[in-house]
Amino acid sequence: MTELLKVHGSGNTFYLYETTDETSMDWVEFGKWLCRSENDGGADGLLLVAPSKDAMAKMRVINADGSEASMCGNGLRCVARYVLEKENCTSCYIETMKATLLVTKEEDLIRDIPTYAVEIAPVSFDLQSLPMNFNAQQTLIDERIPSFSENIRFTAVSVPNPHLIGLVSKSYIEDPTHQEMLSTMLNGENDYTPDGVNVSYMLPVGEQEIYVRTFERGVGFTNACGTAMTASALVATLLHIVEEGTVTVYNPGGFVKCEVQNNQGDVSLRLIGNATFVKSYAFHSEEGQWALQQLTTTDEQAKYEKLTQYVKEKLAILA
């Protein structure tokens, strides 16, 4: 029997497992199996914690469809908590696919909500970094693409996951049909995004506050996507919707704080939010078949519900 955890950042759910041998299993198939709904509701992905030569630990992210993400801000917060508690420290570096990033323990967003900050990097507006093809342009910043929408202006950025962010009116948030159709097209065979893209619709909701809903590549609509929220906060500063500094980003799963600093193109981003541990499990393999057994349930999700209730009340007032 081997133990793993079910965790979430802003309602973005994962199974978290630590291995000392990254070659010991087929993690793609294991992740796809874990994320099935019959496994206690499934999850958006698998967070694999492995040894690193250059940092305190290494994180890999296997999406529900078996694809591997370059980064995951919500997942990294959960890995940060796991590693920092295990090592009894308040900050460290964790290796991800594209960068080694600083993670730190922070003051609770709301009382009794374990909160962590993670660096989001690297950042690029070069369409080749997504990759994305559009009119042979090098960048796409606040532009309409008629084949996408006649009304929505889009910005593309990688952080390093690829993101297409649309500034929308309230009607596009109330009815997700357009976002789902566009996202499905851009994550299938198309002429724009050969590797797919995360598609976020962003709505300004107050001073230094935005709402973001994301259709995540390899997953679909999620309660939250950490890199999408951070990228959206960055785009909101570029479009002068909010000022640089701390931006509150609401999402279907809760809210986070994003810190944005842009020193003449030298962008610094931090994502601050919950890292909630929900349950622990044992799993074992018999004759090539995995089996999952729940061991314990924490009281952390009940405490997190206070945060989601706060968001509901806040957005009702803003509406």
Which of 132-152 are b and which e, b meaning 16 or more Cβ less than 10 Å from the residue's Cβ?
A: bebeeeeebeeeebeebbeeb
Active site residues per annotation: 72, 225
The phi-psi region of residue 27 (left if phi > 0; otherwise alpha if psi is between -120 and 50; otherwise beta) is alpha
Q: What pairs with residue 154 in β-bridges?
A: 143, 166
Please, are residues 213 and 176 in contact by the beta-carbon 8 Å criterion? yes
Candidates 99, 98, 91; CA nearest to 56 is 91
Cα–Cα distance, 98 to 116 (Å, whole number) = 20
Candidates 69, 62, 72, 86; CA nearest to 3 is 86
Q: How far is CA 16 from CA 142, 148, 189, 197, 210, in A?
A: 37, 36, 31, 24, 29
Taken in order 143, 145, 149, 151, is the CA torsion positive or negative? Answer: positive
Cα–Cα distance, 1 to 185 (Å, whole number) = 42
